Structure 1
Amino acid sequence: MNATIAGTALFAEPRMLVERREDGAILLTSPIPLEEHERCIGMYLEKWAARAPERPFLLERDREGQWVGVTYAEALQKVRRIATWLLQHGVTAEHPVVVLSDNSVEHGLLMLACMHIGVPYSAISPAYSLVSRDHAKLKSLIARLDPSVIYVSDSEKFSAPLEAIKDLHQATLVTSASTAPSEGGVSFSSLLESLDADRVAEAFARIDGDTVAKILFTSGSTSEPKGVINTQRMLCSSQQGKTQLWPFLTETPPVLLDWLPWNHTFGSNHNFNLVLMHGGTLYIDGGKPMPGMFDASIQNLRDVAPTLYLNVPRGFDMLVPALRSDAALRKAFFSRLQVIFYAAAALPQYLWDALIELSRQELGHALPMVTAWGSTETSPLATDCHYQAERSGVIGLPIPGVSLKLLPNGDKLEVRVKGPIVTPGYYKQPDITAKAFDEEGFYLIGDAVRFADPEQPHLGLVFDGRVAEDFKLSTGTWVSVGTLRMKAIEKLAPVAQDIVVAGHDRDSVSLLIFPNAAACKQLAGLPADGAFADALNHEAVRHHVKLALDELRRMGSGTSTFAQRALLMTEPPAVDGGEITDKGYINQAAVLKNRAHLVERLYAVTPDAQVICL
């Protein structure tokens, strides 16, 4: 069960304590005590700057395509200088530093400098600035944060959002050293001009576990973004728990090529901090799992052989075809890979199977395929699957120091979380904070889980969907949205990029499908530049969907387990409508609300020609 490399176990033995209460609640804890951890994230930077000063820490592509960045010693030196500038300019904990741009070396150094002296850092999704048309979310978040500093990579690129928020703050605008500063703003290079080592050291010494490190906004997969307070204790205890379950990290400094945004907990708290804690190297991937951008990620993988590869399901969906068709890429990718890790959403089983098949093909054995579970409020690690599960979807066991409480909720088990990894609340939102915890102090995360095997709890938990997403049909039967969504995506592959399940208070379930444009065109025999509408209306594509609906019905055990109608949507999920997060997770409720007219088409007595029916 425990994966090994060269006969050495990668992970700690999977263990869990189970307590069943008379009221039906089930308490799950790790029998492994959480060991002592550092008081703040900055201690890791200090440590590796002393132990491995010349080791590359943060690297990115420059305009000539070369990898450039900072070593650990250089990073610490620059962090102290940026911290000096912040202190000299009166930046305090009451007015956070905000970053609107994507990941970069400058972004990383500014984040670390803030945390080094106890100034909250908050990165806001670039989509709210560069994709949104009305900038409504950006304006709301800036007004709530009231920042002292705002950093953007390019003032010209961000001119529209900066104009939209100009009356909402008194912040100093900082722009990248590679671009000209805007009027009234300063260049990032000016932050590096002076050093007051004693003053920085004094501020650093005052930081403790309760110090606010970050304010990260929830992705809005089920509601409007909330500002989650991330303390130093949360971040350090999360990484300490990870280290105890993944002891191999202390043997080989991790090398990551990663695109996941630092405005979300997966990329920022899990991946970035994992590299920093263990003195590894992070190559910042300028590509993303999006059409027209993933080629950059593939090129980067040709140059950088990671020891760990972490991504969201959409990233693996685009990676697998490339690995299958390119032997040189496949060889480079697997050359020193130890673990493949997916998170942020459930990985379809066909992608799980494909990655195992590819690793066996290249290495002669299967690499561990693992995941974890949590949220922005749990920094993010609450459970970890530190063993090879039998199939996709097993989220593992509670990490050291964490307790889970499982409560019957309809026909599901709602899960709640408690431990040092949990947020104390939401920034300037006391009303929402008060509603986020139960009477025992467990955080109400809103997810459901089930045991992979009720007779063998140590085999772990399986994610069983969002409690808020499930609904009843008019018959009173509950529809498990997460379960049905995953089955439908598997059966509809490769046509479906994602799926939204409809049917609340209806007689049957229907599907709204976000199509994979490239796959639909290929299935229809059309060129890559062919009309998208022609592909969606092509008989081969529609027949593929109909066969999938038939297969779901054949496998199902009742009307709540399959869909009777489906519609291929022509418009991608909209950022302004809150329909999609940076990590590609679909907000089910937002799509159903924004596209209510499409739902009505699905349930018309006589559906139109575009609706595909059983």
Structure 2
Amino acid sequence: MTHDRPWLAQYPAGVPAEIDVDEFRSVPAVLEGAIANFRDRPAFSNMGKVMTYAEIDEASRQFAAYLLGELKLKRGDRVAIMMPNCLQYPIATFGVLRAGLTVVNVNPMYTVRELKHQMVDSGAVAILVLDNFGSTVEKSLAGTAIRHVITSGLGDLLGMKGAIVNFVLRHVKKMVPDYNIQGAVRFRDVLAMGKRHALPDVQIDPTDIAFLQYTGGTTGVAKGAMLTHRNMVANMQQASAWVDALATPGKEVIITALPLYHIFALTANGLVFMKFGAKNILITNPRDMPGFVKELKREPFTAITGVNTLFNGLLNTPGFEEVDFSSLRLTLGGGMAVQRSVAERWKKATGVTLVEAYGLTETAPAACINPMDLKDYNGSIGLPIPSTDACVKGEDGAMLPAGEVGELCIRGPQVMAGYWQRPDETARTIDAEGWLHTGDMAKMDEKGFFYIVDRKKDMILVSGFNVYPNEVEDVIAMMPGVLEVAAVGVPDERSGEVVKVFVVKKDPALTADQIKTHAREYLTGYKQPRQVEFRTELPKTNVGKILRRELKEEQPTPAS
């Protein structure tokens, strides 16, 4: 290493400085280890229906055999999965990976425009979609490489109860818009067809791409971070070494409320806890807080991960205080900054410290985590995890000493292979020495704890999801009545930040409501502007670039 690693002295007892990244060749190898060790243990549960590791093994094999035997997909082909947390998600994901293919995770809330961009960019040849989002897929297919569509109702794997779930979603709640995709095949039929094919012995190399995980990175347009099997296994090994002292193999029950298509839940809940043989309780709609609290009351759980807004929401939901926290040992917060007030209330309500972690899609995701034996919230993102190097660099690229603010850079086996088909962006993000430049401004203290000071980018962080001002501005600028627009994040108690747009009118009659209605058509919920302010002009640099930062600084900050 090029510099000393002061954080190693702060590691909790038993946490190694380095992990064995070669223990597992691939993500399926981790799954197969869990199946061998915990065959009859519950693996995933959703809406009361439980599947064991053996059942996940069988169903994911059938899915893989269908992709290879029936669809004749070739090694490295991309398969998109557009699903919230439900039993179909792990079956399909592990199926795609076991077939030697690449998973393209898709946010089910995407609009047609967003989905189409991701499908065209990734070159996905197949997509699995929940009925609720089928009409979005139908409208976005033209011009993509997708040849195969697999559809499923949310209740399809829930047994007798499932028929009721599907009926209520379609006819009572009207949450399934009609769609008609020629040649689409049902998920249950896919599993049945998969049974007719033997799954060949698929050779997976550690350098094969496991996930194309889309992120805005440091600029507006969504790019696919190429996360290899080695990246994913490394991060799983790093995080499991970190939480090892708190986890008992075969005895863990983890609440998975963050979507598994998001890298945080995918690695932390999906892989780390699978290695421990945990039961993953999948929460399909955590936004329904009363329903979520009801789920939490069903059985004692040992671990929960989430973002600040999720913990805050739970603390403000009636009935949360009646949840049984006697088994809870681990609460991990990431995806966005954890607020001190939320961390302190969480500790008071549950008796367990809310431990903050830091990561990026590009680091699969964990880079820094606070010690698990942390007594109280400390405002830090923690220490670099095993086999991970972190430093703070100045504008000239030189490393800065402790206490000085610069750009946080990360290096380790979890750093992505690069951005899919974007060598220029990759070169801008990962330097010649292998340091990933995060775009976050940070400082390190003498002990090796890191603190995020500010974001270098103008990125807006809404409930842990990245919103890129360029994208919002492009959509608003499409309106004929708009002369100029700038989007910034403004503080919001519930979601950390919300999008606010400043607009200079071309048409004097233009209203804020018209802008919001237009945005709803082209942007998914969290990207839509919540506030609209009209201006006669926007602040600019001498070359005419709009100064978002100046607009942001004018906004009142909420009293802390």
TM-score, normalised via structure 1 length: 0.67
Deviations 1:102-156, CA, capped at 9 Å, x for gaps:
122112101001111210011111121xxx3xx22211111112222111111x6
* Match of residue 465, structure 1, among 454, 461, 473: 454
Q: Secondary structure at the match of 1:305?
A: coil
CA contact (8 A) 1:573 1:579 kept: no
Paired residues of 2:210 and 2:227 also in contact (CA < 8 A):
yes
Q: Conserved in 2, the CA contact under 8 Å of 1:256 and 1:306?
A: yes
Larger Rg: 1
Q: Aligned equivalents of 2:289 and 2:140: distance in 1?
A: 30
Change (3 A) 1:511 1:448: closer
Match of 2:289 in 1: 294
Is 1:85 the counterpart of 2:66 in the alignment?
yes
Superposed CA deviations along residues 366-408 of structure 1, whole A, max 9, x for unmatched, are 4232121110010001111124165343111111111113112
Give me the whole-angstrom Cα distance separating, in 1, the residues matched to 2:194 and 2:489.
59
Deviation at 1:217, TM superposition (A): 0.6
Given residue 224 of structure 1, which amino acid in structure 2 is its aligned partner? V
Provide closer, same or farther for how the CA distance between residues 279 and 370 of structure 1 changes in structure 2, counting only shifts above 3 A: same
Deviation readout 1:69-120 (Å, 9 max, x if unpaired): 4210011111111111111121124431111221221121010011112100
Secondary structure in structure 2 of the residue aligned to 1:168: coil
Q: Is the 8 A contact 1:347 1:392 kept in 2?
A: no
Q: Which residue of 2 aligns with 1:246?
A: 243
Aligned residues: 464
- Return the alpha-carbon distance in structure 2 between the equivalents of residues 342 and 613 of structure 1: 23
Q: Secondary structure at the match of 2:51?
A: strand
**Could you say which residue in structure 2 is the equivalent of 1:9?**
none
Counterpart of 2:43?
A: 57
Q: CA deviation at 1:443?
A: 1.1
2:253 matches 1:255: yes
The one-letter code sitting in structure 1 at the alignment partner of 2:412 is G
Contact 1:28 1:404 in 2 (8 A): no
Letter in 1 for 2:220: S
Asked if 2 retains the 8 angstrom alpha-carbon contact of 1:97 and 1:122, the reply is: yes
- Is residue 305 of structure 1 aligned with residue 300 of structure 2? yes
C-alpha separation in 1, matches of 2:53 and 2:427 = 41
Over 3 Å counting, the alpha-carbon distance change for 1:396 and 1:187 in structure 2 is same
| Whole-angstrom CA distance in 2 between matches of 1:228 and 1:440 | 19
The one-letter code of the counterpart of 1:438 is D
Does structure 2 retain, via aligned residues, the 8 Å contact 1:219–1:264?
no
Contact between 1:58 and 1:284, CA under 8 Å: does it hold in 2? yes
| Secondary structure at 2:277 match in 1 | coil
Match of residue 111, structure 1, among 78, 93, 113: 93
Q: Once the two structures are superposed, what CA deviation does each residue of 1:314-354 show, in whole Å capped at 9, x if it has no partner?
A: 111111123xx53xx43434121002211111111111111
Deviation at 1:415, TM superposition (A): 1.2
Contact map agreement 1:84 1:199 (CA 8 A) in 2: yes
**Counterpart in the other structure of 2:331:** 340
Tell me by how many angstroms 1:446 deviates.
1.0
1:214-246 per-residue CA deviation (whole Å, 9 max, x = no partner) reads: 111116786322101111111111111112221
**2:404 corresponds to 1:404:** no
CA deviation vs aligned residue, 1:243-264 (integer Å, no higher than 9, x gap): 2221235524321222212222
Question: Partner of 2:207 in structure 1?
Answer: 210
Q: Which amino acid aligns with 2:434?
A: G
Q: Indicate the residue corresponding to 1:142 in structure 2.
A: 119
Q: What does 1:443-482 align with in structure 2 at a 5 Å threshold?
A: 443-451=436-444, 454=445, 456-458=446-448, 460-469=449-458
Q: Secondary structure at the match of 2:357?
A: strand
5 Å-filtered alignment, 1:428-577, equals 428-451=421-444, 454=445, 456-458=446-448, 460-469=449-458, 512=490, 514=492
Aligned: 1:379 with 2:364: yes
Deviation at 1:209, TM superposition (A): 1.2
Alignment match, 2:159: none
Name the stretch that deviates more: 45-54 or 309-318: 45-54
SS class of match (2:297): helix
Q: 1:217 to 1:96 in 2, by over 3 A?
A: same
Question: Does the 8 Å contact 1:210/1:233 carry over to 2?
Answer: yes
Work out the CA distance in 1 between the residues paired with 2:222 and 2:82.
15
Residues 384 and 101 of structure 1, relative CA distance in 2, 3 Å threshold: same
Mapped to 2, the partners of 1:436 and 1:572 lie a distance apart of 36
The answer to whether the Cα contact below 8 Å between 2:7 and 2:447 also exists between their aligned partners in 1 is: no
Q: What's the counterpart of residue 503 of structure 1?
A: none
Match of 1:421 among 402, 414, 417: 414
RMSD: 3.8
| Alpha-carbon distance, 1:208 to partner | 2.3
> What is the percentage of aligned positions where both structures have the same residue?
20
**Distance in 2, Cα, partners of 1:420 & 1:84:** 31
Report SS of the residue matched to 2:40.
coil
Q: Give the direction of change, closer, same or farther, for the CA distance of 1:602–1:105 in structure 2 (3 Å limit).
A: same
Helix, strand or coil at the partner of 1:216: strand
Structure 2 residue 173 is matched with structure 1 residue 173: no
Q: In structure 1, what residue type is equivalent to 2:441? A: A
How far apart are 1:445 and its partner, in Å?
1.4
> Which of 270, 280, 283 matches 1:282?
280
Aligned to 2:355: 370
The answer on 1:43 being equivalent to 2:29 is yes
Task: Compute the displacement of 1:279 (Å).
Answer: 0.8
Cα distance, 1:230–1:516 mapped onto 2, change above 3 Å? closer
Distance in 2 (CA, whole Å) between partners of 1:58 and 1:370 is 24
- Compared with structure 1, are the counterparts of its residues 445 and 591 closer, same or farther at alpha carbon in structure 2 (3 Å cutoff)? farther
Mapped to 2, the partners of 1:127 and 1:398 lie a distance apart of 33
- How far does residue 425 in structure 1 lie from its aligned partner after superposition? 0.7
Equivalent-residue separation in structure 2 for 1:92 and 1:511 (angstroms): 43
Measured against aligned partners, the alpha-carbon deviations of 1:277-314 in whole angstroms (never above 9, x if no partner) come to 1111111102224xxx2222111112132211111111
Shift of 1:186: 0.8
* Structure 1 residue aligned with 2:191: 192
The equivalent residue for 2:134 is: 158
Partner secondary structure for residue 371 of structure 1: strand
In structure 1, the residue matched to 2:342 is: 351
Given that residues 96 and 103 in structure 2 are in contact (C-alpha distance below 8 angstroms), is that contact kept between their aligned partners in structure 1?
Answer: yes
Whether the 8 Å contact between 2:246 and 2:329 is mirrored in structure 1 is no
1:268 matched to 2:266? The reply is yes
Tell me if the contact between 1:123 and 1:216 (Cα under 8 Å) persists in the aligned partners.
Answer: yes
CA distance in 2 between counterparts of 1:90 and 1:174 reads: 15
Q: What letter is aligned with 1:457? A: K
DSSP 3-state at the match of 2:347: helix
Residue 229 (1) aligns with residue 219 (2): no
Is 1:597 the counterpart of 2:534? The answer is yes
Distance 1:272 1:68 in 2: 18
Offset of residue 413 of structure 1: 1.9
Describe the shift of the 1:602–1:313 C-alpha distance in structure 2 as closer, same or farther (beyond 3 A): farther
Matches within 5 A, 1:117-132: 117-128=99-110, 132=111
Distance in 2, matches of 1:438 and 1:183, equals 46
- 1:409 shift after superposition: 4.2
Residue aligning to 2:3: 19
* Alpha-carbon spacing, 1:572–1:287, altered in 2? closer, same or farther (3 Å): farther
CA distance 1:515–1:448, change in 2 (3 Å):
closer
- In the superposition, relative to structure 1, how do residues 612 and 45 fare at CA in structure 2: closer, same or farther (>3 Å)? closer
Could you say if the C-alpha distance between residues 96 and 336 of structure 1 is closer, same or farther in structure 2, counting changes exceeding 3 Å?
Answer: same
Secondary structure at the aligned position of 1:448 is classed as strand
Q: Give the partner amino acid of 1:271.
A: N
* Letter in structure 2 aligned against 1:349: R
Instruction: Give 1:197 deviation, angstroms.
Output: 10
Q: Tell me the CA shift for residue 202 of structure 1.
A: 1.5
* CA deviations over 1:531-590 (Å, ceiling 9, x no partner): xxxxxxxxxxxxxxxxxxxxxxxxxxxxxxxxxxxxxxx969967776975xxxx7xxx9
